[in-house]
Amino acid sequence: MAKICISAFVAGKVQGVWFRKSTMDEALSYGLTGWVRNLSDGRVQVMLCGESNAVRQVEAWLQIGPALANVAQVISESLPYDESFNGFVMRGDEREC
């Protein structure tokens, strides 16, 4: 099976609604690696890597997000597979990095 990564930016009401934790849970349930973090402009950034179909399933879930979220837009781009990620983690806010 082909492996890919995507980088996604999720806009809308996506901070303070358990978006990062829910994204991590979704990614781990599909066996994906990568990370999720809040951005200072109110968006959430996600890096998902793994089997192509699983990545696309979680990418589709990003359009909906957790119950309290109100997703306005998801912009994603496909990237070459990166095997350097170990597991899936929630990173701190962009401004904390």
What's the pLDDT at 94?
66
| pLDDT value of position 49 | 98
* 63 close to 72: Cβ distance less than 8 angstroms: no
The first and second tokens of residue 66, run together, are 């957790």
At residue 1 the predicted structure's pLDDT band, cuts being 50, 70 and 90, is: confident
CATH of domain 3-78: 3.30.70.100
Query: pTM here?
Result: 0.93
Catalytic residue list: 20, 38
Give the residue-averaged pLDDT of 2-10: 97
